[in-house]
A and B are shown apart, each in its own frame.
Chain A
Amino acid sequence: MKLHSPFALSRSLLVGIAGTVLLLLAAPSTEAAAPASHFHLPTPTELLEVLTLENHNTRIVVLSTTLLGITSGLVGTFLLLRRRSLIGDALSHATLPGIAIAFLIMVAAGGSGKFLPGLLAGATVTGLAGVLLVLAIRNTTKLKDDVAMGFVLSVFFGIGVALLGVIQKMPQASAAGLESFIYGKTASMIQQDFILITAVTLLTAILSLLLVKEFALLCFDEGFAAANGWPTLLLDILMLGLVTAVTVIGLQAVGLILIIAFLITPATAARFWTQNLRKMLVIAALIGGLSGWLGASLSALLPKLPAGAVIVLVAATIFLLSMIFAPARGVFPRYLRQSNLRRKVGRQHLLRAVYEILETNPHPLDKPVPNLPVPLATLQSHRSWSPKQLRKLLRTARKEDHLDPATHDTIQLSESGYGEAARVTRNHRLWELYLIRHADIAPSHVDRDADMVEHVLDANIVQQLEAELDSRDTAATVPPSPHQITPSHSPATT
């Protein structure tokens, strides 16, 4: 075992980490982390050369990975929606016995065994067989997709390993290079590979775009599709056939791990940006293409960064950013929306509680409810708040100018707070009346149902409710509660 200096150790660690975290800024940061002499910042000329695809070799690699990224983004979207993302994993392992068998057949026929189209054909055959086996296990046993995929992955890969074991002991042929299928050879792609990739990816992309409607039906409601007479099994096989095409071609070009990541990561990242399938397809293709382009360019610019790994890391970075920040379904925007809604619900509950207490004060029925101070103890017992929750709600209400200053054991609504309280209570009652009249819910049960919906009633629905309930004449007034209002501490007995 060679000894190595702590400097070398920290350098390689830092470079690895810098390469992952600061992908877009990789050039300056790796430079900073690695002051070794051979590690140089790409000059502007080199940068321009890569970006404009001037170098023939770089052009082939970058274009190939971009095309693959776009197509696998499209296909991966359907896989994700079908909860079958890991099929790429099973498939890429299932190609190994095909490669070995094709090699054996070609050697037996007198060739060298290294004829690429032959090897790819073998890979496609066992890949398809694996996919069909997954479908057969899923459709004829109680086992689920994940077990079926795991079964195909391990058993087929096992057969492949056993066959390679035989091949390695054959005296007449050298099996070296067969393993390059597993790790890919991105950097050494040639014109022929590029033409093959272009043809297959274009065909796959066009087919999957033509069949968007059918595939969407299959993804969202397989039973409905079958009931309407669509050939669901055939469509399923066709979809997995397209996946097989992308996997086999990608396996050879960029390697096993990258093609699995390509099928999963862009589609999953796109899911955070939209709820619409067509938009999701476009976004997934864009993310896949961007990862392929950026990753391959970075790998061409900086020494010792394998293209496949860099592309995976670019895609993973995009995924992480999408997961956190994407407006439609990202974690952070969703958290903000939820906490806003929670605050709104809390405020509306507080205001309605105060209004319901105010109503209990004696007042003429044709006049609005008088705005009087409300004792905190009454408020506390009106709903099941903890003292701490109530204090927090009151603090927020004061900040929002819904409360006027009052003595320490009472509270009083401000003018705007009173208006808001009347409006909130009115919405609640309108919805209750609607439920009683049109949904046949008993008056004693509507309170809870109304509670769940009232916070999201918008002006339009309120207008419809008013029209529905003929209460336009009372537009400015709050209708009386259709049921008895009881404090939470003494449950209703009616």
Chain B
Amino acid sequence: MNWTAFDTSIVIVGALCAVACALPGCFLVLRRMSMMGDAISHAVLPGLAIAFLFSGSRASIAMFIGAAIVGVLTAVFTQWISKFGKVDRGAAMGIVFTTLFALGLILIVQAADHVDLDPGCVLYGAIELTPLDPIASISLGNTTLEIPRAAAVIGIVLLVNLVVITLFFKELRVSAFDPELSTTLGIPSQLMHYLLMTIVAVTTVAAFEAVGSIIVIAMLIVPPATALLLTQRLAIMLPLSAALAAAAAALGHLAAITVPTWFGFESTTTSGMMALAAGLLFTLAWLLSPNQGLLTKHSRHQNLSPE
């Protein structure tokens, strides 16, 4: 194995991204809306396409704004359909994101003569390439640290998420567990819902433009679900899921450059392995969680059973 400054940089970007996703992800999991990240990352296609057609450039702030707007709209439309049509929220989400994706696909195909915009690869970044796009560099003694653009973008998003969740912790907690109580206490649970959806949409869009969508979808769900198997307290669940997410990012990159070599292949994609690492951490918690683990519960039952 040959660990370079590149690898450190990739792990830092991945960990920042994982933590930024895991924090709002805790609330998504508690509100039973885990699939929102996946829905948003598909649904933003028309937003990207329209922004691209208007601005004519790929890495522009217009793309980000267009995607973020459509991301929030996905949440709004889902809420409308499930509220007014009395439709199951999962089904409403599915209808909204498939329709928006189809719309985006048609826009892109119609414009294909004039622009080159490929739904497969252009819209989603790759984490391996982030160190190649530095935005600034800091000199520390004789070493120069280059800060990738992705790290700066996701760092800002992470900071915003931290501030919002700290400021509205009480409100978000009450409205996640008991919307009726929250309304009775004078906390607008609808507003909290849309606040959460906005930070999820912005996080999703920022992260998948920088590092690819699979990391976003996995880190929104898997670390919070793992933390939920380990604790019953939201105040512990949030830092725990952040730590798990960061660990999954580091383990994932390590696995991406080592595991394939055992089978005689070269390295593989970091993003896929980060999702896999998060999945392995989940499996460990599923089996061994002190209170709820399958094996711990089994051995407890063994101890209880008569001799």
A335 and chain B: residue at smallest CB distance? B84
**Chain B residues whose CB sits within 8 angstroms of the CB of A170 once the complex forms:** 265
Contact of B276 with A4 in the complex, beta carbons under 8 Å? no
Contact of A304 with B110 in the complex, beta carbons under 8 Å? yes
Contact of A147 with B99 in the complex, beta carbons under 8 Å? no
Contact of B221 with A142 in the complex, beta carbons under 8 Å? no
Answer whether residue A143 sits at the interface, using C-beta atoms and an 8 A cutoff. Answer: yes
CB within 8 Å for A2 and B273 given contacts A260-B94, A272-B85, A316-B99: no
**Chain B residues whose CB sits within 8 angstroms of the CB of A140 once the complex forms:** 286, 294
Contact of B114 with A16 in the complex, beta carbons under 8 Å? no
A81 and chain B: residue at smallest CB distance? B88
**Chain B residues whose CB sits within 8 angstroms of the CB of A83 once the complex forms:** 88, 90
Segment of A156-164, A276-284, A337-345, A365-373 in the binding face: A156-164
Answer whether residue B271 sits at the interface, using C-beta atoms and an 8 A cutoff. Answer: yes
Contact with A along B109-136 (1 / 0, CB 8 A): 1111111100110000000000000000
In the complex, chain B residues 253-288 whose Cβ is within 8 Å of any chain A Cβ? 256, 260, 265-269, 271-276, 278-279, 282, 286
Contact of A150 with B98 in the complex, beta carbons under 8 Å? no
**Chain B residues whose CB sits within 8 angstroms of the CB of A8 once the complex forms:** 111, 113-114
* A153–B221 CA distance with the chains assembled, in angstroms: 10
Contact of A19 with B272 in the complex, beta carbons under 8 Å? no
Contact of B265 with A12 in the complex, beta carbons under 8 Å? no
* A178–B260 CA distance with the chains assembled, in angstroms: 20
Which of A16, A170, A258, A272 has the largest number of chain B CB atoms within 10 A?
A: A16
Interface of A is mostly: helix
Kindly identify which residue among A86, A157, A316 contacts B90, using a CB–CB cutoff of 8 Å: A86
Contact with B along A152-178 (1 / 0, CB 8 A): 011101111111111001100000000
Kindly identify which residue among B53, B93, B109, B218 contacts A304, using a CB–CB cutoff of 8 Å: B109
Contact of A151 with B86 in the complex, beta carbons under 8 Å? no
Contact with B along A307-348 (1 / 0, CB 8 A): 011101100100100010000010100000000000000000
In the complex, chain B residues 45-60 whose Cβ is within 8 Å of any chain A Cβ? 50, 53-54, 56-58
Contact of A165 with B269 in the complex, beta carbons under 8 Å? yes
CB within 8 Å for A313 and B276 given contacts A141-B229, A142-B292, A329-B86: no
Answer whether residue B103 sits at the interface, using C-beta atoms and an 8 A cutoff. Answer: yes
Contact of A12 with B53 in the complex, beta carbons under 8 Å? yes
Segment of A263-271, A355-363, A414-422 in the binding face: A263-271
In the complex, chain B residues 61-112 whose Cβ is within 8 Å of any chain A Cβ? 81, 84-88, 90-95, 98-99, 101-103, 105-107, 109-112
Answer whether residue B185 sits at the interface, using C-beta atoms and an 8 A cutoff. Answer: no
**What are some 17 contacts across the A-B interface (CB < 8 A)?**
A2-B116, A142-B292, A143-B225, A146-B90, A147-B228, A151-B225, A155-B222, A158-B272, A158-B278, A164-B272, A165-B269, A260-B98, A265-B95, A268-B88, A316-B102, A323-B87, A331-B85
In the complex, the 10 A-B pairs of residues with the closest C-beta atoms, listed nearest first: A158-B275, A162-B272, A161-B272, A155-B279, A165-B269, A154-B218, A165-B268, A261-B98, A312-B102, A150-B34
